[in-house]
Amino acid sequence: MKPRRVWAIARKEFIHVRRDPRSLGMAIAIPMLLLVLFGYALTLDVDNVPLIVWDQSQSHASREFISRFGASRYFSLRAYAQSYRDLERAVDSANALAGLVIPRDFARDIEAGRGASVQLIVDGSDSNTATLAMGYADVVVQTYSQEVAIEARQRLGGARLRPPLDVQPRVWFNPDLESKNYIIPGLIAVIMMVIAALLTSLTVAREWERGTMEQLISTPVKGSELILGKLLPYFTIGMLDVVLAVLMGEFLFHVPLRGNVALLLGMGAIFLAGALSLGMVISIVTMSQLLASQLAMVFTFLPSFLLSGFMYAIGNMPTAIQVLTYLIPSRHFVALLKGIYLKGVGLEVLAVEAVLLACFGVAMMALAILRFEKKLV
């Protein structure tokens, strides 16, 4: 392998990139735009669940009870239903995600100390939101009950009661439980993976489709030199994206970066090399731009989104799929990013992930070089 020949190919690719400023612009602008858009728009926090109430009791007690829901930031009281049909319709058309039914005898039961029961109907289609909404409703009702109960007991026992078990939660790494703090590092991984693979997935296929590969074959350049030369310009663009993304995380979204920046960038470089090589392998195998781009999307977007632990905890998946996730580079990169960003840990904890990420990069590059055949087909 001669550096001079690698450089010649790299220069040729740089010129290609420069000649198509729109693609270059998109390669840099798309990740940034996506990060801004999603950083602001995407949140898994569930608050302001739209609620509709059917208050059959129409009493002081029921209104006091309903106001607890209205005051909680988790619910936003949208409407009062006059009948069960009303409530049903609101939930059917998704105007409300939850409906609260207060029985006719609510006030009487509360005053008599018998204990009342209310019904909460939740739109279960989105199971995640539904689970959280049910949990919040539980807390609102518990608090209300506790107050009623303690009042009753004080009337009975006289003394002021304190709950025997005092739960003291301490949340580490992300004390305010802001979903932004783990969505942004995860997004960096997903966007980089997709952009990197898309960038390179067309390069070899394009040469085949346009027939320029024949000209390259007639030159003395070797397969490995061609691959490396083609990777270089895209690696530069990708690293620029990584640096910009980290800067945006810091200055725009204020995601705490507790670990080492150099380690972050180093891992970013390894990840990028692997993702770019994956795109290259796809390009070499398919030899068609349409097919290559489809495959690049399939192999990168979905796995890095769903199976990387970015959004869905890997621990909850079936074992077979858990094993599969080890093959997905984004999984390791997401773990590294979260570790470096939020936990502030270094290689002493993240060594396994770093090694696996490097293995993926080396394997993909080797595969690209092995699969590439410099002959006419």
Among 261, 302, 323, 370, contact with another protein (rule: CB under 8 A): 302
Sign for the pseudo-dihedral over CA of 328, 332, 335, 338: negative
Nearer to another protein, 176 or 218 (CB): 176
DSSP 134-162: HHHHHHHHHHHHHHHHHHHHHHHH-SPP-
Angle of helix 180-201 relative to helix 329-338, nearest 10 degrees, comes to 140
Residue 244 CA to residue 27 CA, distance in Å, equals 12
Residue from 49, 226, 237, 276 binding another protein (CB under 8 A): 49
Q: Does 64 bind another protein (CB under 8 A)?
A: no
Q: Which of 152, 240, 243, 366 binds another protein (CB under 8 A)?
A: 152
- Applying the rule CB under 8 A, the residues between 132 and 151 that interact with another protein are 132, 134-135, 137-139, 141-142, 144-146, 148-149, 151
**Shortest distance, CB of residue 315 to another protein, whole angstroms?**
7
Residue 41 binding another protein, by CB under 8 A: yes
**Shorter beta-carbon distance to another protein: residue 5 or 338:** 338
Q: Residue 1 interacts with another protein (CB under 8 A)?
A: no
32 contact partners, CB below 8 Å, separation of at least 6: 241, 244, 245, 248
d(CA 331, CA 316): 15
The single residue among 9, 27, 267, 336 that binds another protein, judged by CB under 8 A, is 27
Pairing relationship of beta strands 98-102 and 49-55 according to DSSP bridges: parallel
What is the nearest approach in angstroms of another protein to the Cβ of residue 356?
15
If one asks whether residue 72 binds another protein (CB under 8 A), the answer comes out as no
Cβ distance to another protein smaller for residue 34 or 362: 34
> What whole-number distance in Å separates Cα of residue 102 and Cα of residue 267?
56
C-beta separation of 219 from 211 below 8 A? no
Q: Does 291 bind another protein (CB under 8 A)?
A: yes
Site map for another protein, 331-350, x if CB under 8 A?
----x--xx--xx-x---x-
CB of 1 to another protein, least distance (A): 28
Q: Give the C-alpha separation, 144 to 182, whole Å.
A: 33
311 binds another protein (CB under 8 A): yes
